[in-house]
Amino acid sequence: MTRSSPVFYDRSTDTMYVTFREGRAAQTIAHDDRDFAVDIGEDGQPVGYEIQHASEHPDVIAEALRILLRGGRIAA
């Protein structure tokens, strides 16, 4: 994985971050029951997902990758 990759995994903490697009997070919405948080940009659209205990949550990883493939947009 290169630095330009939209997916970063830190094996030492089992944390994955999926960047959907450039931008700063205006707020972060935590989903503690699934060990992830969504960074939301000022326009109300997601900037990225941080997934804690990533190896235990392939469903959340798949969800984040689907959003990435849609260009960072959450389906209505």
Task: Assess whether pLDDT exceeds 70 at residue 75.
Answer: no
Nearest to 19 by CA among 44, 49, 45: 49
Residues 26-64: b if buried by 16+ CB within 10 A, e if exposed: eeeeeeeeebbbbbbbeeeebbbbbbbebeebeebbebb
The Cβ of residue 68 has, within 10 Å, a number of other Cβ atoms equal to: 19
pTM beyond 0.75: yes
Write the pLDDT tens digit of every residue in 10-34: 999 999 999 999 999 999 999 999 9
